[in-house]
């Protein structure tokens, strides 16, 4: 009996995705470069299930119904190109190659065109949710050859996370052509960086500023989890404050304060710079990880450089509420920036993205899943051309309500010497975005003064240049 789906790459993600597909009633053929992993799976978790273990790509291909659906779940990069080269001669016209890895979107742009030129279809799909998501229901962001969608849709939507009042809306919808799916996945990861950084800033204010214990932190995050901040990341943060180490004491307090990164946040920042859009939250989050990684340098500097006493002297309960406000308002700015970047990328690459769908795809299964995303979907459903989330009435009012607390937190953090790069960058973005006038008039004057870069005027159209040196007030000798 032929299989419905083929999966290559049986590491954490691939193995769990394969089990997920099989659990929905499909027959799955699997292959892994190191074939002992195929045997291990067949003898272990796949035992007695609808699996065919293959020891070669030829076997895998010949085990599949046509048009074949072959998903690659391998290390992103050259491994994918190598697999494509090997698979192309084995496949038939109309077969579909799927890349579910964390691939850089430009590689998917290129590979879609290449694979299509060989008469096959290509589907670059962002998959989020880690090990558990892969097994039980990830968030999936498929893009690539439009003609592939009707074929992959039944299996993709069957395995994806489900949301909505009846748990029947799959977190998987067609994103757009070529690399659109992987771009949206990258923005998801960048937003995840921002969310995590903002939660860490709240944590630092609560511990350094207010001296809260882990028990108290647990209660604060539990309280936040019950409200508009309800999200997976707030939930796991709460839980972290309850985990003890073997020798008593809390595990979180013993973890080295040096963050790692795999690079998707950096990609988003770099692409924001290329597009000329201010995605400052993800960028600050990436830089915060860089600064944390300089542990030894920080230890040396801590012995030399001084700052104020970080203890907050005002009302504790109020300050906790204000930190919640800062977190919520900053989060809105972060998502606003992410969607603005996707809008700019959609224009640049000619992708007809549906931004309400993008929010819906992240509603379940993935790391940034949150109730909040329903509000974003509603905002884009109400106005698909919404220029900025901050302008949607719901978010405008939310920031209106939060901004006193937010400003107090950023100002207090500055006075206490507690770094809050994301909260501060978010506020600077908000205050910059809402200003009709910014000091760029002076900047243009400076550019024209030293480089004759010219300027426009508020009072008349055209391009102007001034002889600043002749016109200036002569300095005293
Ligand atoms: P890894 O990224 O660690 O990749 C390991 C898998 O890739 C193994 O099956 C390995 O085979 C295979 N592989 C590596 N190089 C080659 C090659 N040249 N030819 C053939 N196969 C190769 O596995 P993960 O499961 O962690 O991730 C898979 C993909 O999913 C990655 O792109 C990752 O970024 C992405 N992803 C991961 C998430 C996670 O939480 N881990 C979440 C979302 C996406 P072998 O056993 O022979 O070495």
466 and 399 part of one domain: no
Q: Is 476 a residue whose pLDDT tops 90?
A: no
Whether 207 and 153 map to the same domain: the answer is no
What is the pLDDT, as a whole number, of residue 261? 87
Cα of 265 to ligand 1 centre, how many Å? Answer: 19
In a domain, 388, yes or no: yes
For 44-70, write each residue's pLDDT tens digit. 999 999 999 999 999 999 999 999 999
| CATH number for the domain that contains residue 408 | 1.10.1040.10
Pick from 285, 220, 321: which is nearest to 423 by CA?
A: 285
Does 126 map to a domain?
A: yes
Q: Are residues 121 and 171 in the same domain?
A: yes
Q: Cα dihedral angle (336, 264, 283, 455), rounded to 10 degrees?
A: -80
Q: Is 128 labeled as ligand-binding? A: yes
Say whether both 276 and 321 belong to one domain. Answer: yes
Residue 476: inside a domain: no
Q: Does pLDDT of 352 surpass 90?
A: yes
Element (H, E) at 139: strand 139-144
Residue 59 lies in a domain: yes
Atom of ligand 1 nearest to the CA of 11: 25
Q: Are 391 and 242 members of one domain?
A: yes
Block residue for tokens 């969310």: 195
Q: Which has the closest alpha carbon to 87: 74, 72, 101, 73?
A: 72
Ligand 1 nearest-atom number relative to CA 10: 9
Is 108 annotated among the ligand-binding residues?
A: no
Q: Which two tokens stand for residue 239?
A: 């839980």
Tell me the pTM: 0.96
Cα–Cα distances (Å) from 226 to 309, 317, 366, in that order, read 33, 17, 19
The larger pLDDT score, comparing residue 256 to residue 371, is at: 256
pLDDT score of 415: 98
Does 262 have pLDDT greater than 90?
no
Q: Is there a domain that residue 88 lies in?
A: yes
Mean pLDDT for 440-462 is 98
Supply the pLDDT for residue 84. 98
Same domain, 86 and 15: yes
Q: CA-CA distance, 288 to 195, in Å (whole number)?
A: 13
Same domain, 165 and 143: yes
Reported as a single tens digit per residue, the pLDDT across 180-197 is 999 999 999 999 999 999
- Measuring from each residue's beta carbon to the nearest atom of ligand 1, which residues come in under 6 Å? 9-14, 32-34, 37, 73-76, 79, 82-83, 101-102, 127-128, 130
Q: Is the pLDDT of residue 357 over 80?
A: yes
- 165: domain CATH number is 3.40.50.720
Token digits for 232?
């997976």
Same domain, 24 and 109: yes
Distance CA 384, CA 339 (A): 12
Q: Which of 178, 208, 241 is the last residue of a domain?
A: 178
Within-domain flag for 331: yes
Distance 18 CA to ligand 1 centre (A): 14
Q: Which residues are catalytic?
A: 185, 192
pLDDT-above-70 percentage for the chain: 100
Same domain, 220 and 360: yes
C-alpha pair distances (Å), 186 with each of 180, 246, 320:
10, 37, 32
CA-103 nearest atom, ligand 1: 32
Q: pLDDT tens-digit profile of 266-292?
A: 999 999 999 999 999 999 999 999 999
Residue 26 alpha carbon to ligand 1 centre in Å: 23
Band of the pLDDT at 254, cuts 50, 70, 90?
A: very high
131 CA closest ligand 1 atom index = 40
* Residue nearest atom 18 in ligand 1 by C-alpha distance: 79
> Do residues 147 and 262 share a domain?
no
- Using the predicted structure, report yes or no on whether residue 477 has a pLDDT greater than 80: no
Q: How much distance in Å is there from the Cα of 11 to the middle of ligand 1?
A: 6
Domain shared by 331 and 451, yes or no: no
Bridging pattern class, strands 121-128 and 96-99:
parallel
pLDDT of residue 235: 97
For 62, residues 6+ apart whose C-beta sits below 8 A from its C-beta are none
What is the tens place of the pLDDT at every residue in 296-346?
999 999 999 999 999 999 999 999 999 999 999 999 999 999 999 999 999
Tell me the CA–centroid distance for residue 103 and ligand 1, in Å. 11
Q: Which long-range contacts (CB under 8 A, 24 or more apart) does 311-314 make?
A: 311/209, 311/211, 311/416, 312/205, 312/209, 312/210, 312/412, 312/416, 314/412
Q: Is 151 annotated as a binding residue?
A: no
pLDDT in tens, 101-134: 999 999 999 999 999 999 999 999 999 999 999 9
For residue 269, tell me if it sits in a domain.
yes
Say if residue 289 carries a ligand binding annotation.
yes
Averaged confidence pLDDT in the chain: 97
Please indicate, yes or no, whether residues 189 and 332 belong to a single structural domain of this protein: yes
For 216-248, write each residue's pLDDT tens digit: 999 999 999 999 999 999 999 999 999 999 998
Give the number of other Cβ atoms within 10 Å of residue 3's Cβ: 23
- Total number of domains constituting the chain: 3
Region 21-43: what's the mean pLDDT? Answer: 98
What would the pLDDT profile of 418-445 be if each residue is shown by its tens digit?
A: 999 999 999 999 999 999 999 999 999 9
**Which pLDDT score, from 0 to 100, does residue 351 have?**
97
Taking the C-alpha atoms of residue 314 and residue 375, their distance in angstroms, rounded to an integer, is 34
Last residue of a domain, one of 122, 155, 178: 178
Task: Give the pLDDT score at 475.
Answer: 84
| Pair 175, 142: CB distance under 8 Å | yes
381: containing domain: 185-433
Mutate to test the pocket of ligand 1, among 7, 8, 9 (most ligand atoms within 8 A of CB): 9
Give the mean model confidence (pLDDT) for residues 371-398: 96
The answer to whether position 200 is within a domain reads yes
- What's the length of the chain? 477
Instruction: Please tell me whether 262 is known to bind a ligand.
Output: yes
């Amino acid at each position: 009996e032929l299989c419905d789906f083929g999966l290559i790459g049986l590491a954490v993600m691939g193995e769990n995705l394969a089990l997920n597909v099989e659990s929905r009633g499909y027959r799955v053929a699997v292959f892994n470069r190191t074939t002992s992993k195929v045997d291990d799976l067949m003898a272990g978790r796949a035992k007695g299930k609808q699996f065919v273990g293959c020891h070669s790509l030829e076997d895998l291909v010949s085990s599949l119904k046509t048009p074949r659906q072959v998903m690659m779940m391998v290390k992103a990069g050259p491994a994918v190109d190598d697999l494509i080269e090997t698979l192309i001669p084995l496949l038939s016209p109309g077969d579909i190659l799927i890349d579910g890895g964390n691939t850089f979107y430009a590689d998917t742009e290129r590979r879609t065109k290449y694979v299509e030129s060989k008469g096959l279809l290509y589907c670059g799909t962002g998959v989020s949710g880690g090990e558990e998501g892969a097994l039980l229901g990830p968030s999936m962001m498929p893009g690539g050859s439009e003609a592939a969608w009707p074929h992959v849709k039944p299996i993709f939507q069957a395995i994806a996370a489900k949301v909505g009042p009846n748990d029947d809306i799959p977190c998987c919808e067609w994103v757009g052509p070529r690399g659109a799916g992987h771009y949206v996945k990258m923005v998801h990861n960048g937003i995840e960086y921002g969310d995590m950084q903002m939660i860490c800033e709240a944590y630092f204010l609560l511990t350094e500023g207010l001296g809260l214990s882990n028990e108290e932190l647990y209660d604060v995050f539990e309280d936040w989890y019950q409200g508009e901040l309800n999200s997976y990341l707030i939930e796991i943060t709460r839980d972290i404050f309850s985990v003890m180490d073997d020798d008593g004491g809390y595990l979180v307090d013993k973890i080295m304060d040096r963050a790692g990164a795999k690079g998707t946040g950096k990609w988003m920042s770099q692409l924001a710079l290329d597009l000329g859009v201010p995605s400052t939250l993800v960028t600050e989050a990436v830089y915060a990880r860089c600064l944390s990684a300089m542990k030894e340098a920080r230890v040396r500097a801590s012995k030399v450089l001084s700052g104020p006493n970080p203890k907050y002297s005002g009302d504790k309960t109020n300050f906790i509420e204000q930190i919640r406000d800062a977190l919520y308002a900053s989060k809105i700015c972060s998502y606003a920036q992410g969607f603005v970047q996707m809008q700019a990328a959609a224009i640049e690459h000619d992708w007809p993205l549906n931004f309400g769908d993008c929010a819906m795809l992240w509603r379940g299964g993935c790391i940034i899943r949150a109730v909040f995303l329903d509000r974003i979907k509603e905002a884009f459903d109400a106005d698909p051309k919404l220029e900025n989330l901050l302008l949607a009435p719901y978010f405008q009012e939310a920031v209106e309500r939060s901004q006193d607390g937010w400003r107090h937190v950023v100002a207090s953090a500055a006075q206490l010497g507690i770094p809050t790069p994301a909260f501060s960058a978010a506020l600077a973005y908000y205050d910059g975005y809402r200003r009709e006038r910014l000091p760029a008039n002076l900047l243009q004057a400076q550019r024209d003064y030293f480089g004759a870069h010219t300027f426009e005027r508020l009072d008349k159209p055209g391009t102007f240049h001034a002889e600043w040196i002749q016109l200036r007030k002569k300095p005293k000798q």
